[in-house]
Amino acid sequence: MKSTDFNTLFDALILKYHILDSVDQPFKNDFNSNGLEHLIYRKSWIDTVQWHYEDIIRLPDINPTEALTLKRKIDASNQDRTNMVEYIDSYFLEKYKNVKAKPSAKINSESPAWAIDRLSILALKIYHMKEEAYRESASESHQFACKNKLNILLEQRKDLSTAIDDLLEDIANGDKYMKVYKQMKMYNDIELNPMLYAKK
């Protein structure tokens, strides 16, 4: 898969989500569970649902009890998102495990999966900014501003897509090497968060 494949998959999933446009709708992944598409599709779904969680929790009149429940869902979603990034990086580590890095090879500032994570979020920004840019109930100045922002987001996606393709090619050629650090998030871990282990 290349960045064009990632973007196509992201866009298709976001469109599919918005048919029902509900955070509670069922999720189905028809891709082969051993393939990269399966991981990317699942990752995109998590991002899309969480995007809408974040919209809902900002409602000024949200019930505090409902807000707390939603906050817990956002926390769990963040953990799922991180886990999926690590699964995707594990896929690339396995794919390139036999590539011998050149003596001049360098490490990248971020892993392939974290770059793909940014690409997934960009797809959501583009979809929703396009909605705003062409929302009939919005003022002309609002639409104009959003169209300018949309153009910037599209340019950003083009640049990031190129960078991801270059990174994967460099890894495949041994010009760069992968070194993945687990995120080691502490706030969800009962053994690492002092507010949690104090209650044990």
Is residue 111 in a domain? Answer: yes
User: What is the pLDDT, as a whole number, of residue 144?
Assistant: 98
Q: Is the pLDDT confidence value at 184 over 90?
A: no
| pLDDT confidence bin for 196, thresholds 50/70/90 | confident
Q: Is the pLDDT confidence value at 183 over 80?
A: no
Return d(Cα 71, Cα 85) in angstroms, integer: 21
Q: Is the pLDDT confidence value at 187 over 90?
A: no
What is the number of domains present in the chain? Answer: 1
pLDDT, tens digit, 9 for 90 and up, residues 17-76: 999 999 999 999 999 999 999 999 999 999 999 999 999 999 999 999 999 999 999 999
Is residue 192 in a domain? Answer: no
Q: Which residue has the tokens 């409602």?
A: 59
Q: Which domain holds residue 133?
A: 3-186
Provide the residue count of the chain.
200
Is residue 107 in a domain? Answer: yes
Return d(Cα 2, Cα 161) in angstroms, integer: 8
Residues 6+ apart with CB under 8 A from 13: 41, 44, 45, 48
Q: Which residue has the tokens 């109930």?
A: 137
User: What is the pLDDT, as a whole number, of residue 197?
Assistant: 74
Is residue 191 in a domain? Answer: no
Return d(Cα 140, Cα 148) in angstroms, integer: 12
Is residue 195 in a domain? Answer: no
